[in-house]
Copies of this chain bind each other. A is one copy, B any other.
Amino acid sequence: MKKIRAKAGNNSFLKEYNKKIILDIIRINKAISRAEISHLSGLSATAVGGIAESLIQEGYIYEIGSGESSGGRKPVLLALKPMTFYSVGIDLDVDALNVLLMDITGDVIDKSIYRNISTSDWDKLSEVTLPLINTILNKNNVNLSNLLGLGISVPGFIDIEGKTVIMAPNLGWNYVDIVDVFQKNWDIPVYIENEAKCSAICENWIGQCTSDKDFVCINIKTGIGAGIFASGKLYRGAAGTAGEVGHIVVDEGGARCGCGNYGCLETVASTPSIINRCIKYVKQGVVSSLNQIEDIEKVTIDDIVKAAFHQDSFALNLLNESARYIGIAVSNIVNTLNPSKIVLGKDFCKYADVVMDVVEGVVKAKAIQYASASVDVVASNIGQDSSAMGAAIIPVKKLFGK
Residues of A within 8 A of B (CB): 157, 166-167, 212-214, 226, 228, 230-231, 233, 235-245, 247-252, 259-261, 328, 331-333, 335-340, 365-371, 374-375
**Within the complex, what minimum Cβ distance (angstroms) separates A92 from chain B?**
19
Identical chains in the assembly:
2
**Within the complex, what minimum Cβ distance (angstroms) separates A243 from chain B?**
7
Residues of B within 8 A of A235 (CB): 230-231, 337
Are B248 and A332 closer than 8 Å at their CB atoms? yes
Residues of B within 8 A of A231 (CB): 230-231, 233, 235
Are B230 and A365 closer than 8 Å at their CB atoms? no
**Within the complex, what minimum Cβ distance (angstroms) separates A179 from chain B?**
19
Residues of B within 8 A of A243 (CB): 336, 338
Are B332 and A239 closer than 8 Å at their CB atoms? no
A157 to B369, CA, bound (A): 12
A157 and B370 contact, Cβ closer than 8 Å, known pairs A245-B336, A336-B333, A338-B236: yes
A338 and B368 contact, Cβ closer than 8 Å, known pairs A230-B231, A331-B249: no
**4 new A-B contacts at CB < 8 Å, known A214-B238, A248-B332, A261-B366:** A214-B242, A230-B235, A238-B340, A260-B369
- Sampled A-B contacts (12; CB under 8 Å): A228-B336, A231-B233, A237-B337, A238-B338, A241-B338, A244-B371, A245-B336, A247-B368, A248-B332, A248-B335, A250-B252, A259-B368
A157 to B335, CA, bound (A): 12
A331 to B247, CA, bound (A): 9
Residues of B within 8 A of A328 (CB): 249, 252
A213, A214, A237, A366: residue with the most chain B Cβ atoms closer than 10 Å: A237
Residues of B within 8 A of A233 (CB): 231
**Within the complex, what minimum Cβ distance (angstroms) separates A248 from chain B?**
5
A371 to B166, CA, bound (A): 12
A70 to B201, CA, bound (A): 51
Residues of B within 8 A of A339 (CB): 237-238
**Within the complex, what minimum Cβ distance (angstroms) separates A201 from chain B?**
16
**Beta-carbon nearest neighbor of A166 in chain B:** B370
Are A249 and B370 closer than 8 Å at their CB atoms? no
**Within the complex, what minimum Cβ distance (angstroms) separates A288 from chain B?**
27
Are B249 and A237 closer than 8 Å at their CB atoms? no
A187 to B213, CA, bound (A): 34
A336 and B238 contact, Cβ closer than 8 Å, known pairs A167-B370, A328-B252, A368-B259: no
Residues of B within 8 A of A237 (CB): 214, 337-339, 371
Residues of B within 8 A of A368 (CB): 241, 244, 247, 259
A331 to B163, CA, bound (A): 27
Q: Which of B214, B238, B369, B374 contacts A374 (CB 8 A)?
A: B238
A333 to B336, CA, bound (A): 8
**Beta-carbon nearest neighbor of A242 in chain B:** B338
A166 to B374, CA, bound (A): 13
A284 to B260, CA, bound (A): 38
Are B370 and A245 closer than 8 Å at their CB atoms? no
